[in-house]
Structure 1
Amino acid sequence: MNTMQQHLTDQLTTALSPMHLEVINESNNHSGPATESHFKLVVVSDYFADLKLIDRHRFINQLFKEELNHIHALAMHTYTPNEWQMKNGAPNSPQCAGGSKF
């Protein structure tokens, strides 16, 4: 069975040939019954070299146009290889502010 996490990974790999990719299912950190509803993406790709941050996010939103009907939250951290080297990692996700999980 293909999970949403694997699907996102496959699509990003095909579309961007990333040098680093993390697709993290953070659904267990949030309230509610959905098990694949919150994801964090960390994508490092040369494809982003000539794109502004907003255009990188628009590209991913378009790539996952259909999937976003089923995903509640998608955190995107998009970097060029040089940016990734300077940042040395993506920021931690914030705690869930809603529901009764925490």
Structure 2
Amino acid sequence: MSARTDSEATSTQSTTGITPSTLSEALRDRLAAEHVDIQDLSGGCGQMFEAIIVSPQFAKKTTLARHRLVNGALKEEIAAIHAWTPKCYTPEEWEKKQGGS
């Protein structure tokens, strides 16, 4: 991955409109996500994201089915970025992972 300047990062985000907050809002709206944490791993250029997504819609779905659900919900957004890594949990799985009972 090449180094980008701040102006290039701003230009890319303004062109695509993809930011962690726009991705988070889309996931909350489209998947009824209860918790979304989006990290921009590209140094601010908006081209590489990692996400933790917690939604009841993931219940009884395999990892692949969960990823397909997310990718379908974000089809346009994902087409505009370089890399996307979702980590999908049900509310129960997320609570257990966080050390809840």
Whether these two folds match at TM > 0.5 is: yes
* 1:6 to partner: Cα distance: 2.2
Structure (1 or 2) with the greater helix fraction: 2
Q: Deviations over 1:10-43 (max 9, x none)?
A: 1101012222111111111xxxxx7000111101
- 1:49 counterpart = 2:64: no
Counterpart in 2 of 1:79?
89
3-state DSSP class of the match of 1:66? helix
Once the two structures are TM-superposed, the CA of residue 3 in structure 1 deviates from its matched residue by 4.3
Identical aligned pairs, as a percentage?
32
Matched, 1:8 2:18: no
Matched residues, number? 84
Listed as ranges, the gaps of 5+ residues in structure 2 are 1-13
* Cα drift, residue 49 of structure 1: 0.8
Return the TM-score normalized by structure 2.
0.71
- Cα RMSD over matched residues? 2.0
Give unmatched runs, 5+ long, in structure 1. 29-33, 90-102
How far apart are residue 50 of structure 1 and its match? 2.3
**How far apart, in 2, do the equivalents of 1:15 and 1:68 lie?**
14
Q: Deviations over 1:63-88 (max 9, x none)?
A: 12222222111111100111112222
Q: For 1:65-76, what aligned pairs fall within 5 Å after superposition?
A: 65-76=75-86
